[in-house]
Amino acid sequence: MVTGIDPNRIPTHVALVMDGNGRWAQRRGLKRTDGHAAGEEALFDTVEGALELGITWLTVYAFSTENWKRPADEVRYLMGFNESILVRRRDEMNDRGVRMRFIGRRDWRVPRRLIKHMDRSIELTRNNRRMTFTIAFNYGGRAELVDAIKAMMADGVKPEKVTEKKLRQYFYDPEMPDPDLMIRTSGEYRISNYLLWEIAYSELIFTETLWPDFRREHLFDAVREYQDRERRFGGIEKED
Ligand code: IPE
Ligand code: IPE
Ligand code: MG
């Protein structure tokens, strides 16, 4: 096990906001898209680190419902880049025992080819159980709630049957547990519409590291900090 990490208190679900690609590139006199490209190594080193720790759910924010506001060139690049990552990496993920899933709105703006590769990745890795690696793509926490409520109403669920548990069943991935730990890189202290409902009691860690510089050691640091925190869930301190 990794030094200073208690193997019995590994967070089950870690959610990541991979932020700072543009600034990373800008500081090097490169294009913003070069920053996204450099984020690939960060992502797959982090996946390896998560596997090493025995984290069983890892969810990463790849494209938000608000990211459509970016220049068309950048949006186009991100669509192609995400497709190419799936094509190039899914066999390796499958070999590592990783199950791939996606959360987000599959609306007309998401290229059909990307959707096709999402479905292929899901299908290829569906029986893996070592870790579930979820990519939040065209994801927004508010959109997820709206979509869940719509689906629940379409099912004819009566108001008196609406509970937190019931609503949860209509989320993009009803099996996904709430994150224990949410990490955001790049020194931005905000949620940016990520997993709004699900992070109600997550421990939040913000780091100055820009996403392309993030490596498994940064994940280990975050897990150490997480293990130093005391989670109360609205209760009171546990007696030793
Ligand atoms: C995160 O990096 C990647 C996406 C949002 C797709 P940014 O592109 O937001 O990088 P900064 O925040 O502008 O540096
Ligand atoms: C959040 O980052 C979305 C992703 C990392 C995919 P943004 O860079 O889009 O968030 P804001 O605009 O700084 O809040
Ligand atoms: Mg950003």
Instruction: Report CA-CA distances (Å) from 6 to 51, 224, 227.
Output: 15, 8, 8
Output the pLDDT for position 239: 63
Classify residue 114 by burial, with Cβ atoms within 10 Å: 0-12, 13-18, 19+: buried
Tell me the best of 66, 67, 68, 186 to mutate to test the pocket of ligand 1, counting ligand atoms within 8 Å of each CB and taking the most: 186
**Mean per-residue pLDDT for 149-177?**
98
Average pLDDT over all residues of the chain: 97
Output the pLDDT for position 101: 98
For residue 236, being part of any structural domain is answered with: no
The confidence band for 240, taking pLDDT boundaries of 50, 70 and 90, is low
Q: Is the CB of 181 under 6 A from ligand 2?
A: no
For residue 222, being part of any structural domain is answered with: yes
Identity of residue 142: R
The confidence band for 61, taking pLDDT boundaries of 50, 70 and 90, is very high
pLDDT in tens, 88-116: 999 999 999 999 999 999 999 999 999 99
Tell me the best of 16, 17, 18, 21 to mutate to test the pocket of ligand 1, counting ligand atoms within 8 Å of each CB and taking the most: 21
For residue 15, being part of any structural domain is answered with: yes
pLDDT exceeds 80 at position 180: yes
Q: Which domain holds residue 40?
A: 10-139+177-226
Q: Is the CB of 19 under 6 A from ligand 2?
A: yes
- Block residue for tokens 């025995």: 54
Which of 45, 67, 147, 173 does the annotation list as catalytic? 67
Angle, helices 72-95/112-125, rounded to nearest 10 degrees: 20
Q: Is the CB of 229 under 6 A from ligand 2?
A: no
For residue 75, being part of any structural domain is answered with: yes
The confidence band for 237, taking pLDDT boundaries of 50, 70 and 90, is confident
**189 CA distance to ligand 3 centroid (A)?**
11
Residue 91 near residue 58, CB atoms below 8 Å? no
For residue 156, being part of any structural domain is answered with: no
Output the pLDDT for position 1: 81
Token pair for residue 139? 């994801």
Q: Is the CB of 102 under 6 A from ligand 1?
A: no
Number of domains in the chain: 1
For residue 2, being part of any structural domain is answered with: no
For residue 26, being part of any structural domain is answered with: yes
- Give the pTM: 0.97
We report the CATH number of the domain holding residue 200 as 3.40.1180.10
Closest atom, ligand 2, to C-alpha of 67: 9
For residue 234, being part of any structural domain is answered with: no
**134 CA distance to ligand 1 centroid (A)?**
19
pLDDT exceeds 90 at position 54: yes
The closest residue, in CA terms, to atom 10 on ligand 2 is 192
| Nearest listed ligand to the Cα of residue 77 | 1
Residue 82 annotated to the active site = no
Output the pLDDT for position 130: 98
